[in-house]
């Protein structure tokens, strides 16, 4: 390690809780960490504001950002484009805090290639039940869209073996502690690659059986009203 630490990059399947961890990390350590606000072509969801959750831009504007080298990385996720403005990385190192990126695995690989000393941590949900339930009740999507979201989540899971650091997000406070331990290069809170691989197989099996149910025209198993209220 030399000089300013590189960005902290949280990756993992949708529904693992990486956004919640990123926000909690910045809330509890405002002097050390700053959230990187990405640009996206997707429309804002309820309550989201331009410049807060995302920079909401048109596809044409996004294309210009790519062509003009304004993005440190970008990727297409769920049919929309997402990218990290270069200035997020530069701006943050200027005030001494570390940018926290909550991005997909393709974006993380691009950040690693830039050689900025990024610490990439793969966030895993603790088990298939609650995770699949969370993905299923997340929006007002049709079963087809839920199946698509699950398939993307499966793709993200399959990328896990190419990463080195894992945190199983069972309890938010502990996950923040574990992420900080990884960022500091400390041995605490580690989930080994082989433990992560075993968990990934269970998660994959859970997601695959839910996709099969949805494709057979059945109702999502875990979208009961009790869970929906919890979200």
C-beta separation of 47 from 81 below 8 A: no
Query: 181: which 2 tokens?
Result: 């331990």
Spatial CA neighbour of 131 closest among 31, 55, 209, 217:
209
- Of 47 and 185, the one with the shorter C-beta distance to ligand 5GP is 47
Q: What is the DSSP letter of 6?
A: -
Least distance between ligand 5GP and beta carbon 216 (Å): 26
Least distance between ligand 5GP and beta carbon 67 (Å): 17
The torsion region of residue 78 among left (phi > 0), alpha (psi -120 to 50) and beta comes to left
Return the residue nearest ligand 5GP (CB atom).
107
Least distance between ligand 5GP and beta carbon 187 (Å): 27
- Of 17 and 83, the one with the shorter C-beta distance to ligand 5GP is 83
3-state helix, strand, coil in the chain (%, to 5): 45, 20, 35
Local structure of 27: helix, strand or coil: helix
C-beta separation of 89 from 5 below 8 A: no
- Of 78 and 218, the one with the shorter C-beta distance to ligand 5GP is 78
Integer Cα distance of 218 and 199 in angstroms: 26
- Of 43 and 229, the one with the shorter C-beta distance to ligand 5GP is 43
Least distance between ligand 5GP and beta carbon 41 (Å): 10
- Of 194 and 223, the one with the shorter C-beta distance to ligand 5GP is 223
Least distance between ligand 5GP and beta carbon 156 (Å): 7
Q: What is the DSSP letter of 218?
A: P
Integer Cα distance of 201 and 154 in angstroms: 10
Least distance between ligand 5GP and beta carbon 104 (Å): 4
Could you tell me which residues come within 8 angstroms of residue 126 by beta carbon, excluding any fewer than 6 positions away? 168, 169, 170, 199
Q: Which residues bind ligand 5GP (CB under 6 A)?
A: 14, 38, 42, 73-75, 77, 82-84, 102-104, 106-107
Spatial CA neighbour of 226 closest among 112, 107, 136:
136
């Amino acid at each position: 390690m030399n000089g300013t630490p590189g960005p902290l990059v949280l990756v993992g399947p949708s529904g693992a809780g990486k956004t919640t961890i990123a926000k909690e990390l910045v809330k509890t350590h405002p002097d050390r960490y700053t959230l990187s606000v990405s640009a996206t072509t997707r429309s804002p969801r309820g309550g989201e504001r331009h410049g807060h959750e995302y920079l909401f831009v048109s596809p044409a504007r996004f294309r210009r950002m790519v062509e003009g080298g304004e993005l440190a990385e970008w990727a297409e996720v769920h049919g929309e484009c997402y990218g990290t403005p270069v200035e997020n990385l530069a701006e943050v190192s200027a005030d001494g805090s570390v940018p926290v990126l909550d991005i997909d695995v393709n974006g993380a690989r691009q950040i690693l290639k830039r050689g900025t000393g990024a610490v990439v941590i793969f966030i895993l949900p603790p088990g298939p039940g609650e995770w699949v339930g969370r993905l299923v009740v997340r929006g007002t999507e049709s079963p087809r869209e839920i199946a698509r979201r699950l398939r993307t989540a499966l793709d993200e899971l399959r990328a896990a073996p190419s990463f080195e650091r894992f945190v199983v997000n069972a309890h938010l406070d502990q996950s923040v502690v574990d992420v900080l331990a990884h960022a500091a290069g400390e041995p605490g809170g580690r989930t080994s690659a082989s433990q992560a691989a075993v968990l990934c197989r269970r998660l994959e099996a859970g997601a695959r059986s839910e996709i099969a149910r949805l494709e057979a025209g059945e109702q999502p198993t875990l979208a009961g009203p009790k869970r929906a209220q919890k979200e």
